Structure 1
Amino acid sequence: MPARRKAAAVAAVGIAPLALTALAPAAAHGSMGDPVSRVSQCYAEGPESPTSDACEAAVAAGGTQALYDWNGVRIGDAGGRHQELIPDGKLCSADNEAFKGLDLARADWPATSVSSGSYTFRYRVTAPHKGTFKVYVTKDGYDPTQPLAWDDLDLANPVATATDPVASGGFYTFSGTLPERSGKQLLYAVWQRSDSPEAFYSCSDVTFGGDAATVAPSASAPSEEQIEDGTDKSTVEHHGHGDDDAGTSAEPAAAPEAPVANRPKAAGATGNLAETGGDTSTPYLVMGGAGVLALGAAILFASPRRRAVSGGRHGR
C-alpha cells in the first residue's frame, strides 16, 4: 500500500474508535437515601471524625476515601451476575476492597426505624440512567453480628422493584412493601442499569417494631451542603454525569474529577439531570456525530490526495 494511502487508512481507523466511544453511555452513581445506606450514614457523620462506633470502625478498616466516594459502590460489568461476582460476606462493599469497612458484621450500625407495610424508598442519585431497582430484606433470624450472606436475604420476594423511575430533586422515589419482621434487619438494594452492565449496591440497616435508637444510633442522610462540600475529595469517575468506561470499577481514578452534586438552579435554567429526570442520550449523540464527521473528513481528505497521486503517476 502506498505511504499516503496507508497513512489515511491509519488515521481513519484511529478515529473510528473515538466515534464509537463517544456514543457509549456514561455511568450512573448513587446510594440509598431512605432508609439510609451505611456509606451515606458514615459520610453524613464526617469521614475524618465519624461519631458512631460502627462508622469509626469502618474508617479504621478502609480509610476515609470510601466515604467521600459514597456514590460509587458498584461493579462496572455486573450485567445481572450479582451473586456470581459478589461473595458472601462482601455484599455491602460489592467485593470492592476500597469499601471493605462497610462489610463489618456488628449490631451497632446506625439504623432507620421502620414498620411492616407500605414504604416509600428514596434513592439519592448524582447521575441518573435507565435501569431497574430491586430491594431485598433479610430473613427472620438474621444475625447482624455475622457476615452478611446471600442466603440471609429473601431473594425470592423483593420488597420493592422499580424500572425506570423518574429522578426528581436528586432522588429516585419508588414504593414497596415491608413484611413482618422484628428487631435489627438489613435492606439490600441493587440498581442494575439497562443501558450498561454496570450495577450499584447498598446496605441499609433498619429496625422493625420500635425506636431505632434502642438498638443502634438513628441513621441520618448527608445534607446537600455536605455532599457539595465533599465533591472535591471524591475520586469516583463521574465526569459531570458519569463514567465513559462502564467497565471500570469504583476504585480511584488516575486523574480524578469530582462528582457534580445536585445544585439549586435558577428558574428556567437547565438543571442537573437528577433534578429534571432528563435523558442523557442527546449529548452522546452529538459527541458521536462529531466523531463520525471526523471520520468522514479523514476519508474525504484521503480521497483527493489519492486521486492527485494517481493522476501524477499516470502523467509520468
Structure 2
Amino acid sequence: MPRPLRAIRGARRALTLLSAAVLFIVPWAGAAYAHGTVTAPVSRNYGCYQRWSSDWQDPAMQQQDPMCWQAWQDDPNAMWNWMSIYQNGLGGQFQQKIPDGQLCSGGLSGDGLYRSLDKPGPWKMTDLSASNFSVTLYDQGHGADYLLIYVTKQGYDATTQPLRWSDLELIKKTGKYVSTGGPGSYTVTGLSAPGRTGRHVVYTIWQRTGLDQAFFFCSDVNFG
C-alpha cells in the first residue's frame, strides 16, 4: 500500500468518538480519497449508513437491525467511510491475497476498521429474483477495468458461516466502464443465479481504471 494511503487509513482508525458531529464530517473531509460502493443490492456498510447515520446511537437499532448495531458499536467509521473498502497492488490475485472469512472487509479485518462486515448474522436483505436481477455500483469518478460479480452457492448460510471463496460462484465479469470525470453509476443487468432460493450474498469486486486498486462489497439478498 502506498505510504500516503496507509497514513490515511491510520488516521481514520485513530479517530475517537468525541461526538456525533465530529464523526459526521469524516466522509466529506475525505472527499479526495472517497471512491464508491454497490448501491443495489445495497452493500452491508452502506445499508447501515443509509438506515442509521442520522441516529447511529439509537438503542432501537439493537433489536431492529442487530448486525448494523454490532457494526456501529465496533467502529462507526466503517459506516462513515462506506466508500473505501479497497486494497492496492493485488494484481488481480484476489483469491490468493484476500483470506477466507475476510471477503466482506476486503482483507482489511486486521486493520480493524471493516472487520464487523465479515461477521455472520441476520444482515438486512434486498429481495431479488434469481432469474433476472441487476447490480448497480456508484463510482465517484475512477472508471472500471471490470467488475466481478459472484453469488453464494445454494446451501451457504450467511447467518452462521464467514464467507469463503469456495462458497462463491462467479456469474459475471464485465468489460470496461469509462469514467466521466465525476460521480456516476454502472448497472449490470440480466444477471441470473440458477437454483438459488432464500438468503444469499452477492459479492462484487470493482477493479478501478488507472491504478491497481480493487474494491470489495458484500450485499445480502433474498432470492424469491
The TM-score bracket by the shorter chain reads: 0.7 to 0.9
Structure 1 length-normalised TM? 0.53
Higher helix content, 1 or 2: 1
Within the candidate set 83, 91, 113, 2:95 is matched to: 83
TM-score w.r.t. length of structure 2? 0.74
Q: CA deviation at 1:159?
A: 2.4
1:49 maps to what in 2? 57
1:205 has 2:220 as partner: yes
Alignment match, 2:37: 31
Which of 171, 180, 196 is residue 185 of structure 2 equivalent to?
171
Matches within 5 A, 1:90-169: 90-96=102-108, 97-106=112-121, 108-144=122-158, 145-154=160-169, 158-166=170-178
CA change 1:183–1:36 in 2 (3 A) is: same
Q: CA 1:33/1:167 → structure 2, altered by over 3 Å: closer, same or farther?
A: farther
Post-superposition shift, 1:85? 1.6
- Report if aligned partners of 2:143, 2:177 keep a CA contact under 8 Å in 1: no
Unaligned runs of 5+ in 2: 1-31
Kept in 1: contact 2:200–2:220 (CA 8 A): yes
Tell me the amino acid that sits aligned with residue 39 of structure 2.
G
Question: Is contact 2:144-2:178 (8 Å) kept?
Answer: no
Aligned to 1:267: none
Unaligned runs of 5+ in 1: 1-25, 210-316
The AA in structure 1 aligned to 2:202 is L
Letter of the aligned partner of 1:105 in structure 2? P
- Identical residues among aligned pairs (%): 35
Q: Is the 8 A contact 2:150 2:203 kept in 1?
A: yes
Q: For 1:173-216, what per-residue CA distance to the aligned partner results, in whole angstroms no more than 9, with x for missing partners?
A: 2224222201100010001134221100000000011xxxxxxx
> Residues 1-316 of structure 1: matches in 2 within 5 Å?
29-47=35-53, 48-49=56-57, 51=61, 52-61=65-74, 63-96=75-108, 97-106=112-121, 108-144=122-158, 145-154=160-169, 158-166=170-178, 170-180=184-194, 181-209=196-224
Aligned residue pair count = 179
Judge conservation of contact 1:167–1:173 (CA < 8 Å) in 2. Answer: no
Deviations 1:229-276 (A, max 9, x none): xxxxxxxxxxxxxxxxxxxxxxxxxxxxxxxxxxxxxxxxxxxxxxxx
Q: How far apart are residue 28 of structure 1 and its match?
A: 7.3
Structure with higher strand content: 2
Which one has a bigger Cα radius of gyration? 1
Q: CA RMSD in A?
A: 2.0
- Matched residue type, 2:46: S
CA distance in 2, matches of 1:98, 1:176: 34
